[in-house]
């Protein structure tokens, strides 16, 4: 094994990038001992040269255009910390792999959306592509799935993959407050970004799920076929009804191999209060999986921050320095990109919340629609006390096993009733 | 990279060994794809040839004496699943490494007690030694510490490492029943072994802690210097007092680098009810650590069974097949074996439970001893209702920060009082 230093070019000097430079300087002897050779930063790329980042960047080659890092002859590994699935990040990673150089990235959107083409480049040019930091937090999810579970046949993978959403749902339940109110507070506390769209609309968690699914099943998902729903339409009434019915609401992701492809979605679900996943609270994340041999397992850990993300990037770099050369999805011969099965073909139990004018015949109207759509009711909850000053009242319904297509027709017809105000809310019920 | 099959000799055909053979047959194509080459069993060793293990062993070379597997010319890797820190297992692993062949083992006692000499052999003969299954369960603890956290400086590692003990303590608290009663039930349910000594006396968890500490700090512990206490003396009164004082009792392990070496112990502790570790319940395990960069993290997962253990062994085998060659403790130049600092030099807060005759002057006698030993009280709880028919009553004391030597003297003197019945119970209070 070579003992020459592994030379890095770091693209993006935000909190993770500067944290990584700091970490490598602080722990250089320890890292060399663990890696079997020194790991050194030789070049960086960021937009603003003059900004004070609290670290000394003198002696490092500066690239104003990050993409030129890909061709820097002194760079063995490009560390991509720019983010975003398109533009500079995508161009830089593509060019670096084409040049036969290794890439380490924390970019979950890039891997989720373009993993198929990037893994083909990685394989064609024998250029490793590593992304432990893309699904980070306290749980080393990628190492677990790609290496720890490599001997098992995974039947299901998923879990609670976004700490911001889990924090908001936990707070809403604990305090009875509205989504927008708790979101503002989460921003103030630093648990939500200034622009929280990627988190609350489910995309961040969906990117992580797509990556875990690709590793679990040895083939990338066609990301745009994944059904993704966020949490912004969840109301205190939903949390209250869920509790009363014996459930909690979690933004849950799941991927499993089915006959015609892969079933995969990220959406708020009702899970039984006693299930382990229901008890993952606040900013915690949980990776849940079922292996043919390992059985059902759930691993819970704290969500990511800059420190754990830098450590995850460092783990990939040390693996590279030691000569580890795993294929991108862990398999020698990855299968082709696979479409998720259409949402309508899913089957399951469902929760419906409908806000209605409190007047005679409303329940009958709804019951007739359900009957006509072949949806069988398992339970219904309504409280006279919940009646608002303008005469509306929320109504919760729980169905027996049915197919999602029938449910989609059902809510469309219910929404069209004169006595129904607002869009009905439909959530899956999962075993957790 | 070679594409020749990796040929295994498996020593020990209990549930894990037979499970492993079954797994490799069921998933052979998948494993070859993940490993980049086939992995095949060519030889086995077990005592009884005639026993029906539910798997076809024809065509495999049979060794009546497991130690001879080390010299089998057709075997590339010996999988040691015999167990025990001495005898056959130790001899087999030693000889295999001396012959320059790789070893994969699930034997935590062997690695905890003889890891220093085995790692020296592994390094001298360039023979890999892997043991992911030694600290198994749903948490891939070894991969996490050795690879995932390789870039960080770990300040502390530990957690709840024995599911049997955690199950018993959880049940005792939930039901108010005595230790022996819950232990019998745990045996009946399969949560405790027929001979549960290794679990309930803390040795199993201590072995795991010693391995995690060696990986965290890059040097093996002198295992016999580790302070180990089990849970058999914990009474319902202790659990009740702990609850009243705002704590739960957990069998907790901790290792951290201190000035004069390493502080390491496995012992029941009081942890604040609101701490994450206090909420790890039942058969669940938790790995807790603090990294200079990663910060404080806790990962919770289900304890081990035969399935997850076989999967962990398989992960090591796939790593080997792919050419991974990590040093035993993850560092190129491991430090020497290190003694744990003596128990008496620890400082902390303590809980004391003393059973006394309910008569005048008892509290004064105890208070005087505490004063004379320089131990300052933070709180005391006694309930008249707790008085037994024979006139004794339990008394709980909680101290301010003090050193453990003072506490050991204190309990010795308290135990010598005429009015004190039974041995006093002393437990550390930890932040969790």
- Interface membership of A311 toward B (CB under 8 Å): yes
- Interface membership of A35 toward B (CB under 8 Å): yes
Indicate which of B1, B2, B38, B150 best probes the interface with A, i.e. most A CBs within 10 Å of its own CB.
B150
CA distance A160 to chain B (A): 14
The catalytically annotated residue of A101, A108, A208, A250 is: A208
Distance of CA B10 to the CA centre of its chain: 24
CA distance B238 to B353: 7
Q: Cα separations (Å) of A170 from A167, A251, A273, A293, B308?
A: 5, 11, 13, 33, 31
Give chain B positions within 8 Å (CB) of A315: 147-151
Q: Give the residue-averaged pLDDT of B394-409.
A: 96
Taking CB atoms and an 8 Å limit, are A301 and B298 in contact across chains? yes
Distance of CA A241 to the CA centre of its chain: 26
Indicate which of B6, B25, B34, B317 best probes the interface with A, i.e. most A CBs within 10 Å of its own CB.
B34
Taking CB atoms and an 8 Å limit, are B323 and A323 in contact across chains? yes
Instruction: Give the DSSP letter of residue A325.
Output: -
Residue B429 has pLDDT above 80, yes or no: yes
Taking CB atoms and an 8 Å limit, are B151 and A31 in contact across chains? yes
Element (H, E) at B78: strand B77-80
- Interface membership of B348 toward A (CB under 8 Å): no
- Interface membership of A290 toward B (CB under 8 Å): no
Q: Is A301 exposed, middle or buried (0-12, 13-18, 19+ CB in 10 A)?
A: buried
Question: How many other β-carbons are positioned within 10 Å of the β-carbon of residue B335?
Answer: 12
Taking CB atoms and an 8 Å limit, are A326 and B330 in contact across chains? no
| pLDDT tens track, chain A, 432 positions | 688 999 999 999 999 999 999 999 999 999 999 999 999 999 999 988 888 888 898 899 999 999 999 999 999 999 999 999 999 999 999 999 999 999 999 999 999 999 999 999 999 999 999 999 999 777 889 999 999 999 999 999 999 999 999 999 999 999 999 999 999 999 998 889 889 999 999 999 999 999 999 999 999 999 999 999 999 999 999 999 999 999 999 999 999 999 888 999 999 999 999 999 999 999 999 999 999 999 999 998 887 788 999 999 999 999 999 998 899 999 988 778 899 999 999 999 999 999 999 888 999 999 999 999 999 999 999 987 888 888 899 999 999 999 999 999 999 999 999 999 989 999 999 997
Active-site positions of B read 208
- Interface membership of B391 toward A (CB under 8 Å): no
Is the distance from CB of A335 to CB of A216 less than 8 angstroms?
A: no
Q: How many CA atoms lie within 13 Å of A7's alpha carbon, on the beta-carbon side?
A: 12
CA distance A295 to A389: 51
The confidence band for B155, taking pLDDT boundaries of 50, 70 and 90, is: very high
- Interface membership of A333 toward B (CB under 8 Å): yes
Taking CB atoms and an 8 Å limit, are B311 and A151 in contact across chains? yes
Taking CB atoms and an 8 Å limit, are A298 and B293 in contact across chains? no
Pairing of strands B6-11, B77-80: parallel
Strand partners, B352: B397, B426
Two structure tokens written together for A246: 């014996």
Two structure tokens written together for B429: 């209070």
The region, left, alpha or beta by phi > 0 then psi within -120 to 50, assigned to residue B330 is: left
Is the distance from CB of A337 to CB of A54 less than 8 angstroms?
A: no
Interface of B with A in 132-151 (CB under 8 A): 132, 138-140, 143-144, 147-151
CA distance B410 to B370: 6
A and B: number of Cβ contacts within 8 A: 168
Exposure string over B286-304, b if 16+ CB within 10 A, otherwise e: bbbbbbebbbebbbbbbbb
The confidence band for B49, taking pLDDT boundaries of 50, 70 and 90, is: confident
Q: Which domains does chain A have, with CATH numbers?
A: 6-136+308-321 (3.40.50.720), 141-302 (3.30.360.10), 343-429 (3.30.70.260)
- Interface membership of A38 toward B (CB under 8 Å): no
User: What pLDDT, on a 0 to 100 scale, did the predictor assign at position B89?
Assistant: 98
The region, left, alpha or beta by phi > 0 then psi within -120 to 50, assigned to residue B375 is: beta
Give chain B positions within 8 Å (CB) of A333: 33
Give chain B positions within 8 Å (CB) of A214: none
Taking CB atoms and an 8 Å limit, are B300 and A295 in contact across chains? no
Give chain A positions within 8 Å (CB) of B292: 26-27
Taking CB atoms and an 8 Å limit, are A311 and B218 in contact across chains? no
Q: Which of B61, B322, B296 is nearest to A138 (CA)?
A: B296
Q: Cα separations (Å) of B299 from B130, B137, B145, B213?
A: 22, 12, 12, 16
- Interface membership of B298 toward A (CB under 8 Å): yes
User: What pLDDT, on a 0 to 100 scale, did the predictor assign at position B30?
Assistant: 94
User: What pLDDT, on a 0 to 100 scale, did the predictor assign at position B335?
Assistant: 77
Strands (DSSP E) contained in B179-246 are: 227-228
pLDDT (tens digit, 9 = 90+) per residue, B102-145?
Answer: 999 999 999 999 999 999 999 999 999 999 999 977 788 999 99
Taking CB atoms and an 8 Å limit, are A332 and B33 in contact across chains? yes
User: Chain A: residue nearest B329 by CA?
Assistant: A34
Instruction: Give the DSSP letter of residue B383.
Output: -
> A328-331 long-range contacts, Cβ below 8 Å, gap at least 24?
A328/A115, A328/A118, A328/A119, A328/A122, A328/A123, A328/A129, A329/A115, A329/A119, A329/A146, A329/A214, A329/A215, A329/A218, A329/A219, A329/A220, A330/A145, A330/A146, A330/A147, A330/A150, A330/A215, A330/A218, A330/B34, A331/A218, A331/B33, A331/B34
Task: Say whether A387 is catalytic.
Answer: no
């Amino acid at each position: 094994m070579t003992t020459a230093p592994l030379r890095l070019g770091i693209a993006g000097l935000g909190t993770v990038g500067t944290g990584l430079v700091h970490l490598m300087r602080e722990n250089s002897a320890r890292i060399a001992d663990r890696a079997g050779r020194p790991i050194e930063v030789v070049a960086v790329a960021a937009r603003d040269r003059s900004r004070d980042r609290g670290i000394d960047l003198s002696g490092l080659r500066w690239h104003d255009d990050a993409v030129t890092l890909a061709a820097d002859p002194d760079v063995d590994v490009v560390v991509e910390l720019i983010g975003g699935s398109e533009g500079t990040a995508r161009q830089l990673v593509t060019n670096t792999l084409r040049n036969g150089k290794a890439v380490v990235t924390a970019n979950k959107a890039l891997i989720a959306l373009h993993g198929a083409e990037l893994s083909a480049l990685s394989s064609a040019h024998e250029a490793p592509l590593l992304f432990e930091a893309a699904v980070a937090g306290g749980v080393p999810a990628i190492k677990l799935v790609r290496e720890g579970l490599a001997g098992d046949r995974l039947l299901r993978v998923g879990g609670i993959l976004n700490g911001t959403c889990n924090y908001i749902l936990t707070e809403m339940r604990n305090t009875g407050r509205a989504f927008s109110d708790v979101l503002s507070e989460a921003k103030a506390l630093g648990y939500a970004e200034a622009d929280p769209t990627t988190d609350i609309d489910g995309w961040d968690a969906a990117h992580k799920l797509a990556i875990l699914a690709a590793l679990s099943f040895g083939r990338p998902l066609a990301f745009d076929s994944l059904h993704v729903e966020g949490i912004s339409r969840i109301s205190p009434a939903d949390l209250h009804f869920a509790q009363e019915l014996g459930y909690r609401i979690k933004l849950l992701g799941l991927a499993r191999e089915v006959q015609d492809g892969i079933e995969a979605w990220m959406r708020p679900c009702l899970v039984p209060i006693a299930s382990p996943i229901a008890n993952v609270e606040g900013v915690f994340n949980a990776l849940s999986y079922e292996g043919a041999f390992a059985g059902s397992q759930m691993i819970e850990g704290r969500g990511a921050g800059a420190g754990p993300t830098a450590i995850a990037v460092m783990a990939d770099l040390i693996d590279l320095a030691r000569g580890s050369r795993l294929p991108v999805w862990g398999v020698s011969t990855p299968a082709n990109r696979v479409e998720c099965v259409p949402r309508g073909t899913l089957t399951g139990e469902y929760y419906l919340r409908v806000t209605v004018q409190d007047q005679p015949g409303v329940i009958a109207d709804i019951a007739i629609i359900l009957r006509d759509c072949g949806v069988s009711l398992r339970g219904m909850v309504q409280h006279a006390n919940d009646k608002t000053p303008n005469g509306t009242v929320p109504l919760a319904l729980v169905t027996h096993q049915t197919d999602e297509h029938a449910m989609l027709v059902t809510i469309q017809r219910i929404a069209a009733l004169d006595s129904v105000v607002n869009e009905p809310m439909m959530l899956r019920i999962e075993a957790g």
